[in-house]
Structure 1
Amino acid sequence: MAIMTNRPIGAGFGASRVLADLVGRIAAWNDARVTRKSLSALTDRELDDLGLVRGDIDDIARGTFTRD
């Protein structure tokens, strides 16, 4: 008899876990790179319209941006 479950299968241990972690880190790095590139392409006026300055771009890409 087959059993169906909605639980996701974890990455497990060993090489598969290391590979899953590596892929996740590469995806996060790429997301930050794309965000940084897109925001850097905006003019200072466009950034100001968004309430940002150039110095905020790296924080936004890292996900550490907070409004004071």
Structure 2
Amino acid sequence: MTTIETNRSAAVGGIGNIVAQFISLFATWNDTRVTRRELGRLSDRELDDIGLCRGDIERIARG
């Protein structure tokens, strides 16, 4: 009985870790997407005002 409970809690923890990693990956992807979209909406002049060019957007978004 003890072995079953130990294995069960290890399996539940493993699934929890997978879910937590998925949520973290999704949050990172979404932050990158939002940053890329918002910087892409700026004009070239606005980007220049903050010291960026269009080529910098991807690098900044991936941060």
TM-score tier after normalising by the smaller chain length:
0.7 to 0.9
RMSD: 1.2
Q: CA deviation at 1:49?
A: 0.1
TM-score, scaled relative to structure 1? 0.74
| Larger of the two Rg values belongs to structure | 2
Other-structure match for 2:53: 53
Stretches of 4+ aligned residues off by more than 4 angstroms = none
Number of matched pairs: 52
Q: CA deviation at 1:13?
A: 3.5
- Supply the distance in 1 between the matched residues of 2:57 and 2:13 (Cα, whole angstroms): 36
- Where does structure 1 lack aligned partners over 5 or more consecutive residues? 1-11, 64-68
TM-score, scaled relative to structure 2? 0.79
Q: Kindly provide the amino acid, as one letter, of the partner of residue 56 in structure 2.
A: D
Which has more helix, going by share of residues? 2
> Identity over the aligned pairs, expressed in percent?
54
Higher-RCO chain (CA-CA 8 Å, sequence separation at least 6): 2
